[in-house]
Amino acid sequence: MSITDMTAVELAAAIRAGTTTSVEAAEAMLDRIEKLDKTYNCYVTVDREKTLAQAKEVQSKIEAGELDGPLAGVPVAIKDNMCTEGMLTTCSSKILGNFVPMYTAEAVLNLQRAGAVILGKTNMDEFAMGSTTETSAYGVTKNPWNTDHVPGGSSGGSAAAVAANECFYALGSDTGGSIRQPASYCGTVGMKPTYGTVSRYGLIAYGSSLDQIGPLTRDVTDCAAVLEAIASYDVKDSTSIERHDTDFMSALKDDVQGMRIGIPRDYFGDGLDGEVKDAVLKAADGLEKKGAVVEQFDLSLTEYAIPAYYTIAAAEASSNLERFDGIKYGYRTEDYAGLHNMYKKTRSEGFGQEVKRRIMLGSFVLSSGYYDAYYLKALRVKALIKKAFDDAFSKYDVILGPVAPTTAPKLGSSLADPIKMYLGDIYTIAVNLAGLPAISLPCGADKNGLPIGLQLIGDCFQEKRLIQTAYTYEQIRGPFPMAVKEVG
Amino acid sequence: MANIISDETIEYVGILAKLELSDEEKEQAKSDMGRMLDYIDKLGELDTTGVEPMSHVFPVQNVFREDVVTNGDMRERLLSNAPEQKDGMFMVPKTFD
Amino acid sequence: MAKEYETVIGLEVHVELATKTKIFCGCSTAFGAGPNTQTCPVCTGMPGSLPVLNKQVLEYAIAVGLATNCDITRYAKFDRKNYFYPDNPQNYQISQLYLPICRNGSVEIETKDGGVKSVGIHEIHMEEDAGKLIHDEWEDCSLVDYNRSGVPLIEIVSEPDMRSAEEVIAYLEKLRLIIQYLGASDCKLQEGSMRADVNLSVREVGAREFGTRTEMKNLNSFKAISRAIAGETERQTDLIESGEKVIQETRRWDDTRGESYAMRSKEDAQDYRYFPDPDLVPIVVSDEMLADIRSRQPEFRSEKMKRYKEEYDIPDYDIEIITGSKRMADLFEETMAICRQPKKVSNWLMGETLRLMKEKEVEVEDLRFSPENLAKLIALTDSRAINSSVAKEVFEVMFDTNVDPEQYVEEKGLKTVNDEGALKKTVEEVIAANPQSVEDYHNGKEKAVGFLVGQTMKAMKGKADPAMVNRLLKELL
C-alpha cells in the first residue's frame, strides 16, 4: 500500500511506530498533488516549503514525545475560507485574491495543536455560495470519479482532495450542506457538527447563524478523530458552546442494537433519483439487520426549508460581505471617481455572479418594507422546522435519508438555473436551520460509477450516535473503493 | 412570475449593496430576483401566527468578556493587506462628512 | 397677525463609556495613542473575526438606565445597522434597534421659572463607535484611524419633550451629572465623549401634531447647541411662513458660519437593513444581575447634598456648587478624608479653584491638583508654616502642575520666618528707613502701620507671619 493511500489515523500510527515520518508523508502527498492537481484543481494554494518546514517541526515534536495524538504528523488540506496566518486565503474570490491573514482560524489552530501539517488551501464555491465549486474565481474542481462531473460544493476542493488522495483528510465548512453534499458526490465521509461545537473564529462568514466547520475524511474513524481535535469551546466566538462530550472516538462502536432510526417519507418523494433511493434504503436495511429499529415517518415542512434558508443565508451574507470594500484588504479597482464609485466598482469587479445574486437578494429582503414579510417570516418558519425536528427526535435517535437527490451532475449543467441548483440542497439545508449534526458517508454508486451518499441526522449534541451508526454501517458496507487508483 | 422587479428596485438594491451592474446584468438580476422571490413567497403558505422569529437556534445567552486589555499594537500586521496606506492609516478616496 | 410657533426638540445623546477596553474586543480605549495602534482584527473588520461583548459596557448601560428611571429590558439583543462608510470597518455598526437594553425612562430638569419638568427617555441602547477619518491636506485622499472604532457608546434617545435651548441644556447637564456620578463616562463635549444630535421641529402653538423634524449633527459645545437650535428654529419657521415644506433630513451644523446644511447624497439611502446580529447571543438580565448593579449605584447628587448639609458645616451655596460636579465632589470628599476640615477644603474649592478655573479656562474634569496635595497645603497653613498669600501662590502652581506643596515650599524657601530675632531686625530696619510713616503713626494715623507691615513683608519676601509682624511693629513703635 502506498503511503498516500493510508487513512489519517493509520498514518499517525505508522509515524508513531517509526515506520514512516511526517516529512515522508508530506513529501509523498506534495508529489501526488503536483501530479494530479493539474487534472482535478482541488487546491488554490499549495506551499511546498512551508509544508515541509511544518512537517519537520511536527516530526521532531513527535520524536521528542511532545505530540502523540491520533492525528499527529498527518498532512491536512484546509478549505480556503479559513484564515491561515501567513498563507493566502481567498475564499475562491477575486476580491480576496491577495489576502494573507494575520491570524489562523481557531479550528485550524486546534488541528495544529494536534500535530497537523497544512498542505494547502482547497478550492470552493466563491464565499461558499454554490453547490458545485464552479463559482470559484480560480477554476472549477473536477470530480475524481469522473472529471466530466462536478465534485459538489461548496467544499468541493476539500472533498475532491480527499477522494483523489491528494490529502489524508480535509476541513470544510457547511452552511446548507457544503460538507455533506460534496462528500456524497466524491464518495468520502463528511460531517457537519452541532452549531457551536467548532469555533467559527477565523472562518470567513457566509451565513453566520448556519456556518459550521467540519471534517472530510476517508472513513468514519478519521471523521471522529478530526472532529475530536477541532471541537472546542472558544471564548472568541460568542456562539461557541462548552461541551464535555467531545471524546468522539469513543463512539466508534460496531453496534446499533436498539438504535431507533427514522426515515422521513418526505425525503423519498419526487425528484429523488431511483438509484440513490435504492442505495439509501439498502443501507437502512443493513442497519435494521444489525438490530436497529427502523421506521418511516413524516418529518413535514421539507419543502419550506429551502426558501427559508435562502432568505436567511442571503440576508446574513449581504451583511457579512459588506466588509469587502477595497479599503482594508483585498482587491481594489484600478480607476474610480470618489468613494462610492470605488466601493461599487471594487465589489462589482471583485465578486462573481452567484455572490452578487445572493448579496442583492439579501439586501432586498432586509430592506425597508420587506423585512417582516421576508426575513422575519423565514425566521418563524425556521422555528417551525426546529420544532418538527424536536418532535422527530422524541421518537428517533437518528434520521436516515439521502444527502442529495442525485449523484454529481455534469460540469456546466447547474449554474444556468439557480433555483434548480438550490433544490439540490433539499435534504441538507434543514439541518443547518435547526443547528443539528449530520454525517454523510458513501453507500454505493450509480450505474456510471458515481458515488451515492447516505445521510444520518442526529439531535443536537448527539454526534456520538451518528458516529456509532455510521461506523456500524461502514462495517456492513465494507471498504469503499478509491476514486484514483494509479498516478500516471 | 408574480414578483416583477422594476429598474428602480434593482437600482436601489445596487445602492444598498454597493454593486454596479451592466444593463445586461441588470436584466438578469431582475429576472433572478423575481424568480427567487416567487419561490420564497411559498413561505406564505404556512401559518406562522404566534410563532416567535428564531434568530438563535440554541438558548446560549450572556456571553461576556471581562474589561481587561489583551491586545497590543499590531498595526503593521493589520495594515499589511491594505491596498493603500499612509502614516499608519488606511488610505481611502477623499470623503466629506 | 403673526402666528406664534413653538419648537419641539428631542435629543439623541451618544456617550462614550469609560471602559478600559472596547465593546467587542480587548483593545485599549486610551486616548491619544498613535493611529491604528489600538486596533485588532475585530475592530478593523478583518474577515473571520468575531465580537464578544464587554460585560462592563452592559453594566454601565444598565446603571445609566436605572439612574434615569428606565425599564431594563430582560431579554435584549444586538442588531446590525448596515451602511457603507470608511470609518465603519465592517460596513455595519453593531447597535440595538429591536430590543434595546433600557426603555421608558425620564429625568427631571429645572425650568427657567424654577419649576420642575420631566423629560422622557424613549430608550438607551449600546453600540460601537466608528473610527476617525482624517482628511489629507497634501493628497486627494482621506486616511482612516480605527483606534476609536469599537469604543463603547450608549445612545440615550429622549422623547420630543423639550421646547427651548435652555431646556435642552438643562437636560444635557442633568444627564452628564448622572453619568459622571456613575463613573460611566467623563462626558466631555469638546473631546466628543458626549455628543448630542438634535431632532427639531416647529409647530404652531396649540397644534396637536408635530411638524416635520430635521436631525442636526456635529454639535460639540453647549453654545453650539444653543446657536443651532436658534438657527434651525428660524430656518424652519421661515419655511413654514413662506408656505414651503420642511424636509425630513439630517443636517450638519456649521458653528463658525452659524448655519446648517443638508447631508444628502444619492448614495445615502438611509435604509439600514437592521437585523439581529447572529454573531452575538441574547442578553438575559436576571434579578440577581439587576440587584447587584442596583446595590453598586453611587450616592447621587440629591443624596449627597442632604448628607453634606447634615454632616458638614458649610453653606448651602457651597454644597450646591461642589455637588454640581462629580469631580468637584470627589475632590472635596477625598481631601476631606485626609484633613477632616470641611470648611477649609470647601473654601479652597469655592475660592481659588473656581477663580483659577475661570481665569485659565479650565474645565472641572481637567483639574490637575490631587486631594493629597490640597490636604498638605491646608496643613501647611494650619501650622502657620506658610502664610495665606504664600499659600495662594503655592496653590496656583499646584493648580497648573500638581506640585507637592511641601516640597515646593521647601525648595523655594517659602516657609514663614518664625525666628523673632531675625524678624525684629528687619522691622527695625523698616522703621529706620521710613521716618515719615513712623511720624504719621505717632500722629494717630493707624493706617501707617499697614504700610510698614507691607514694607516688612516685602523685605521678608512674603515669608513672615503677618500677625507677628504687626505685634513687633507696634511694640517697637
ipTM of this predicted complex?
Answer: 0.97
Interface test with chain B among C19, C29, C40, C96, by most B beta carbons within 10 Å: C40
B4 Cβ under 8 Å from any chain C Cβ:
no
Q: How far apart are the CA of A266 and the nearest CA of chain B, in angstroms?
A: 17
**A358 within a domain of the structure (yes/no):** no
Q: Name the grid cell of C323.
A: 455637588
Q: Which residues of B touch A342 (CB under 8 A)?
A: 92-93
Position B42 pLDDT exceeds 90: yes
Position C7 pLDDT exceeds 90: yes
Q: What is the mean pLDDT of residues C147-176?
A: 97
Residue A283: burial class (beta carbons within 10 Å; 0-12, 13-18, 19+): buried
Check whether the bond before C106 is cis (ω within 30° of 0): no
Tally of CB atoms within 10 A around C474? 11
In this predicted structure, what is the pLDDT of residue B83? 97
Find the distance separating the first CA and the last CA of chain A, reported in whole Å: 16
CA-nearest residue to B62 within chain A is A238
**A466-475, C41-50, C299-308: least confidently modelled range:** C299-308
- Tell me how far apart the alpha carbons of residues A429 and A302 are, in angstroms, rounded to a whole number: 9
Q: Which residues of C touch B67 (CB under 8 A)?
A: 19-21, 54-57
Q: Which residues of B touch A380 (CB under 8 A)?
A: 48, 51-54
Catalytic residue flag (residue A178): yes
**B80 within a domain of the structure (yes/no):** no
Q: What is the mean pLDDT of residues C211-222?
A: 91
Q: What is the mean pLDDT of residues A18-30?
A: 98
Q: How far apart are the CA of B21 and the nearest CA of chain A, in angstroms?
A: 7
A260 Cβ under 8 Å from any chain B Cβ:
no
**B39 within a domain of the structure (yes/no):** yes
In this predicted structure, what is the pLDDT of residue A27? 98
Task: List subunits contacting chain B, requiring 3 or more Cβ pairs under 8 Å.
Answer: A, C
pLDDT tier at B1, thresholds 50, 70, 90: low
Q: Which residues of A touch C46 (CB under 8 A)?
A: 101-103, 328-329
Q: Which of residues 359-388 of C touch B (CB under 8 A)?
A: none
Whether B67 and C34 lie within 8 Å, measured CB to CB: no
Instruction: Report chain C's mean pLDDT, rounded to a whole number.
Output: 92
In this predicted structure, what is the pLDDT of residue A431? 98
- The percentage of residues in chain C with a pLDDT greater than 70, rounded to a whole number, is 99
- Tell me how far apart the alpha carbons of residues A42 and A245 are, in angstroms, rounded to a whole number: 33
**B23 within a domain of the structure (yes/no):** yes
Tally the domains of chain B: 1
Instruction: Report chain A's mean pLDDT, rounded to a whole number.
Output: 97
Of B95 and A389, the one with more pLDDT: A389
Give the single-character DSSP code of C443.
Answer: T
Position A228 pLDDT exceeds 60: yes
Catalytic residue flag (residue A300): no
C17 Cβ under 8 Å from any chain B Cβ:
no
Tally the domains of chain A: 1
CA-nearest residue to C251 within chain B is B97
**B63 within a domain of the structure (yes/no):** no
Whether B16 and C283 lie within 8 Å, measured CB to CB: no
Of C131, C133, C128, C126, which is closest to residue C150 (Cα–Cα)? C128
Q: Are C124 and C65 in contact (CB under 8 A)?
A: yes
In this predicted structure, what is the pLDDT of residue C437? 83
Helices A106-113 + A220-230 axis angle, to 10: 110
Q: How far apart are the CA of A218 and the nearest CA of chain C, in angstroms?
A: 28
Q: Are C25 and C128 in contact (CB under 8 A)?
A: no
Whether A103 and C267 lie within 8 Å, measured CB to CB: no
CATH of the domain at B34: 1.10.20.60
**B81 within a domain of the structure (yes/no):** no
Position C363 pLDDT exceeds 70: yes
In this predicted structure, what is the pLDDT of residue A324? 98
- The percentage of residues in chain A with a pLDDT greater than 70, rounded to a whole number, is 99
In this predicted structure, what is the pLDDT of residue C430? 86
Catalytic residue flag (residue A464): no
Q: Which residues of B touch A317 (CB under 8 A)?
A: none
**What residues make up the domain containing B17?**
7-43
| Region of C6 on the Ramachandran plot (φ > 0 left; ψ -120 to 50 alpha; else beta) | beta
**A313 within a domain of the structure (yes/no):** no
Q: Which residues of B touch C46 (CB under 8 A)?
A: 78
- Tell me how far apart the alpha carbons of residues C464 and C473 are, in angstroms, rounded to a whole number: 13
Active-site residue (options: A22, A136, A154, A155) = A154
Q: Name the grid cell of C270.
A: 438611509
Q: How far apart are the CA of C45 and the nearest CA of chain A, in angstroms?
A: 7
What would the pLDDT profile of C327-355 be if each residue is shown by its tens digit?
A: 999 999 999 999 999 999 999 999 999 99
**Side-by-side strand order, sheet with C79-82:** C92-95, C79-82, C275-276
Residue C299: partners with Cβ closer than 8 Å, 6 or more residues away:
C181, C307
Q: What is the mean pLDDT of residues C80-106?
A: 97
pTM for the model: 0.92
Q: Which residues of B touch C146 (CB under 8 A)?
A: 90
Active-site residue (options: A136, A155, A158, A178) = A178
Q: Which of residues 71-100 of C touch B (CB under 8 A)?
A: 77, 82, 84-86
Tell me the CATH class for C420-476: mainly alpha
B93 Cβ under 8 Å from any chain C Cβ:
yes
Q: 3-state SS of chain A?
A: CCHHHCCHHHHHHHHHHCCCCHHHHHHHHHHHHHHHHHHHCCEEEECHHHHHHHHHHHHHHHHCCCCCCCCCCCEEEEECCECECCECCCCCCHHHCCCCCCCCCHHHHHHHHCCCEEEEEECCCHHHCCCCCCCCCCCCCCCCCCCCECCCCCCHHHHHHHHCCCCCEEEEEECCCCCHHHHHHHCCEEEECCCCCCCCCCECCCCCCCCEEEEEECCHHHHHHHHHHHCCCCCCCCCCCCCCCCCHHHHCCCCCCCCEEEEEHHHHCCCCCHHHHHHHHHHHHHHHHCCCEEEEECCCCHHHHHHHHHHHHHHHHHHHHHHCCCCCCCCCCCCCCCHHHHHHHHHHHHCCHHHHHHHHHHHHHHCCCCHHHHHHHHHHHHHHHHHHHHHHHCCCCEEEEECCCCCCCECCCCCCCHHHHHHCCCCCHHHHHCCCCEEEEEEEECCCCCEEEEEEEECCCCHHHHHHHHHHHHHHHCCCCCCCCCCC
Position A253 pLDDT exceeds 60: yes
**A271 within a domain of the structure (yes/no):** no
Tally of CB atoms within 10 A around C107? 20
Q: What is the mean pLDDT of residues C372-400?
A: 92
What would the pLDDT profile of A65-114 be if each residue is shown by its tens digit?
A: 999 999 999 999 999 999 999 999 999 999 999 999 999 999 999 999 99
In this predicted structure, what is the pLDDT of residue A486? 65
Whether B86 and C143 lie within 8 Å, measured CB to CB: yes
Distances (CA, A) of C20 to A236, A334, C4, C443: 18, 40, 50, 71
In this predicted structure, what is the pLDDT of residue C145? 98
**B49 within a domain of the structure (yes/no):** no
CATH of the domain at A7: 3.90.1300.10
**B50 within a domain of the structure (yes/no):** no
What are the sequence ranges of the domains in chain C? 5-289, 299-403, 420-476
Position C71 pLDDT exceeds 90: yes
**What residues make up the domain containing A107?**
3-262+394-477
Q: What is the mean pLDDT of residues C425-430?
A: 85
Q: What is the mean pLDDT of residues C16-45?
A: 97
**A366 within a domain of the structure (yes/no):** no
Of C385 and B81, the one with more pLDDT: B81
